[in-house]
Structure 1
Amino acid sequence: MRSRPICALLVLLALFPLRPFAALADVSFQDACGHTLSFASTPSRVVSLYGSFAEAWLLAGGELVGVTQDALTERGLSLGEQVQIVGTVKEPNLEAVIALDPDFVVLSADIASHAPAAELLRQMGIPCALFRVDTFDDYLEMFAVFCELTGREDCYAQYGEAVAAQIDAVRAAVQDMPARRVLLLRAYSSGVKAKRADNLAGAILQDLGCDNIADRNEHLLEELSLEAIVSEDPEFIFVTVMGSDEDAALAFLDERFGADPAWQGLTAVREGRLLLLPKELFHYKPNARWGESYAYLAEILFPECL
């Protein structure tokens, strides 16, 4: 049943023979998986297999020839007719990618299908890099690479340095405030999990000096215990939603805990501080809007400071 796509890839291998990586030159960097790439000139046929990174490449002044569907459905990017859709973020169409004859392919180290995709592309001599962005510093590091490749220092100043200044201003405003006790949850249509500082929202909460009870209660990550939550009594509970059905995810959370008097007695719930975080700032990578993400949380946590 799998022979047809394999045969098609072999045909494409014949049509686009192996080519060497660009010679050591002006821009050299290492991706999140330790692979070193070098470019002598700005890549002009770039394919991004993750919508957030496609947006970041455009912000850096680059151009695209291919993207995955999420660049349109989740990021809402305005792309010309010449830009091809090459599958979905979790199931990129490698035949379509290869057919575009790219000189640089951008992938995510956090998506399971991207590592083997990158390996195939490398075997074909197609330069590709896997990036991991969980914090603003991660974004800034990736964006610096993109702007080096495009030669656009002005873009780095506008969408990198200026955003860093926004974040520094927020940090400075709240640095003397006492730590807020918080719980970060990620809700699905069929489950809910506590999250720590190894994700976007958790990293920002930590950077703002919050005490996320999941960071010091390992068992909460394995099993979301209402008893453990009650014993900590968080002042704020923040919820991010995974998946496209937000209503179903919130319904699951309500069914799991909503009717329990212990849940209703939590300070965060009782005082109206059980809060849903907007996807565009806390689920999708915010890119040039990282400053907004910081300010959004800081205004909730420390309204007297901002």
Structure 2
Amino acid sequence: MKIKIMAYAVMLFVVLNGLAGCGKKAAESVSASPEGYRFTDALGQEVTVQNPERVVALMGSFAEIWLSAGGTLTGVTDDAFEERGLELSKEIVSVGKFNSPSMEKIIALNPDLVLLSSETKEHAALKEVFKQAGIPAAYFKVTHFEDYLSMLKTCTEITGKPELYEKNGLDAEAEIKEILSGSKPQTTPSVLLLITYSGGAAGQNSKTMTGKMLKDLGCRNIADENQSLLKEFNMESIVKEDPDYIFVIPMGNDDDLARKNLKETIEKNPAWSGLTAVKGGRYILLPKEKFLYKPNGKWAESYTYLWEILYGTNE
């Protein structure tokens, strides 16, 4: 119901505010054109764009990818400023939070392309709204490095700057391959990967961003085998598996608060201090910049960070 109301409100906004010029321009961008670039997005939509100059990115990491592809931005969400620390001009407008963007602000910017995440339900809910408003909207899925490469390639093909795909994508891929080619011990390290919340923590498997990196590095994630760890913190299962390493990704912006939450929830359990990883100093809080937020062009740095913890320096 809320989505329908939003859609009607947006259409009413378009009509009442005389944005016919916006609708006309967007319709021209969407129509098939020999000069345009056509691709299929993560939701299966056929998207056609032609030299977009007024681009709005509804996720900070997508704003960074678009800039890395040589594009320019008109609007971004707050996380582009707060989390990514991007150097953006004062002319670039904030259109709200990534999970609650303002359609009114987006439409007012007269965009010729909007970049959205197919994995964010609030973004997926806007698909028909953008279609009805005649605004080209492209959805991308970026969880793993390969997804980042795919989006970057599409963006550089749109901007016509393939050299930036090589610089910001293929060079990082070569670094990662070199890291993974390093020698590893014959024994496979077992790991527990946790992400913290205000009320505790839950496990993450190898399908997640950091989980995939650990798998690539030769680790066995205990949450792959014990699915109950993905729903709640299960000390009995953790004690039984007794992983070699425990990695924790803190949510939120306050690391001190994250540590406090850990102490007040999982660490107060008497069995926690008896775990092999805890006793051996292999209970590690990972930096959000490398493992919560998408590393984008610095993905190789995240792989290196984990490699050095697991196996020492890679020389």
The answer for the alignment partner of 1:62 in structure 2 is 71
The answer for the alignment partner of 2:205 in structure 1 is 196
Q: Residues of 1 paired with 2:12 and 2:217: CA distance?
A: 51
Q: Aligned in 2, Cα 1:241/1:159: closer, same or farther, shift over 3 Å?
A: same
CA contact (8 A) 1:187 1:250 kept: no
Instruction: State whether structure 2 residue 240 is matched by structure 1 residue 236.
Output: no
Following TM superposition, by how much is the alpha carbon of 1:224 offset from its aligned partner in structure 2, in angstroms? 1.8
Residue type of the alignment partner of 1:160: G
The answer for the alignment partner of 2:146 in structure 1 is 137
Q: Aligned in 2, Cα 1:6/1:125: closer, same or farther, shift over 3 Å?
A: closer
Following TM superposition, by how much is the alpha carbon of 1:209 offset from its aligned partner in structure 2, in angstroms? 1.4
Q: Residues of 1 paired with 2:306 and 2:9: CA distance?
A: 51
CA contact (8 A) 1:102 1:126 kept: yes
Instruction: State whether structure 2 residue 263 is matched by structure 1 residue 259.
Output: no
Following TM superposition, by how much is the alpha carbon of 1:127 offset from its aligned partner in structure 2, in angstroms? 0.8
1:10 to 12, 17, 30: 12
Q: Which moved more, 1:220-229 or 1:288-297?
A: 220-229
Instruction: State whether structure 2 residue 281 is matched by structure 1 residue 272.
Output: yes
Q: Aligned in 2, Cα 1:44/1:290: closer, same or farther, shift over 3 Å?
A: same
Q: Residues of 1 paired with 2:188 and 2:176: CA distance?
A: 18
- The percent of aligned pairs where both chains have the same amino acid is 44
Q: Which moved more, 1:21-30 or 1:161-170?
A: 21-30
The answer for the alignment partner of 1:28 in structure 2 is 38
Q: Residues of 1 paired with 2:175 and 2:314: CA distance?
A: 15
Following TM superposition, by how much is the alpha carbon of 1:198 offset from its aligned partner in structure 2, in angstroms? 2.1
**Please, what TM-score do these two structures have when normalized by structure 1?**
0.93
Q: How many residues align?
A: 304
Q: Deviations over 1:189-208 (max 9, x none)?
A: 22210011222111101111
Q: Aligned in 2, Cα 1:55/1:4: closer, same or farther, shift over 3 Å?
A: closer
Residue type of the alignment partner of 2:296: N
Q: Residues of 1 paired with 2:306 and 2:78: CA distance?
A: 29
CA contact (8 A) 2:38 2:48 kept: yes
Q: Residues of 2 paired with 1:260 and 1:115: CA distance?
A: 40
Instruction: State whether structure 2 residue 150 is matched by structure 1 residue 157.
Output: no
Q: Deviations over 1:141-164 (max 9, x none)?
A: 010000100111111111000000
Following TM superposition, by how much is the alpha carbon of 1:24 offset from its aligned partner in structure 2, in angstroms? 4.4
Following TM superposition, by how much is the alpha carbon of 1:42 offset from its aligned partner in structure 2, in angstroms? 2.0
Q: Aligned in 2, Cα 1:9/1:159: closer, same or farther, shift over 3 Å?
A: same
The SS at the match of 1:228 is: helix
CA contact (8 A) 2:200 2:233 kept: no
**Please, what TM-score do these two structures have when normalized by structure 2?**
0.91
Q: Residues of 1 paired with 2:251 and 2:129: CA distance?
A: 29
CA contact (8 A) 1:134 1:203 kept: no
Superposed, which structure 2 residues align to 1:1-306 within 5 Å? 7=9, 9-13=11-15, 14-16=18-20, 17=23, 19-20=27-28, 21-25=30-34, 26-39=36-49, 41-174=50-183, 177-303=186-312, 305-306=314-315
Following TM superposition, by how much is the alpha carbon of 1:223 offset from its aligned partner in structure 2, in angstroms? 2.8
Q: Aligned in 2, Cα 1:304/1:295: closer, same or farther, shift over 3 Å?
A: closer
Q: Residues of 2 paired with 1:205 and 1:300: CA distance?
A: 11
Following TM superposition, by how much is the alpha carbon of 1:5 offset from its aligned partner in structure 2, in angstroms? 10
Following TM superposition, by how much is the alpha carbon of 1:11 offset from its aligned partner in structure 2, in angstroms? 3.0
CA contact (8 A) 2:184 2:311 kept: no
Q: Residues of 2 paired with 1:190 and 1:237: CA distance?
A: 19
Q: Residues of 1 paired with 2:158 and 2:150: CA distance?
A: 13
Q: Residues of 1 paired with 2:167 and 2:178: CA distance?
A: 16
Q: Residues of 2 paired with 1:188 and 1:174: CA distance?
A: 36
Q: Deviations over 1:18-67 (max 9, x none)?
A: 6251314452221111112123x321110001010000100110000000
Q: Aligned in 2, Cα 1:267/1:226: closer, same or farther, shift over 3 Å?
A: same
CA contact (8 A) 1:47 1:67 kept: yes
CA contact (8 A) 1:48 1:54 kept: yes
Task: Structure 1: give runs of 5+ residues left out of the alignment.
Answer: none
CA contact (8 A) 1:50 1:107 kept: yes
The SS at the match of 1:257 is: coil
Q: Residues of 2 paired with 1:38 and 1:4: CA distance?
A: 25
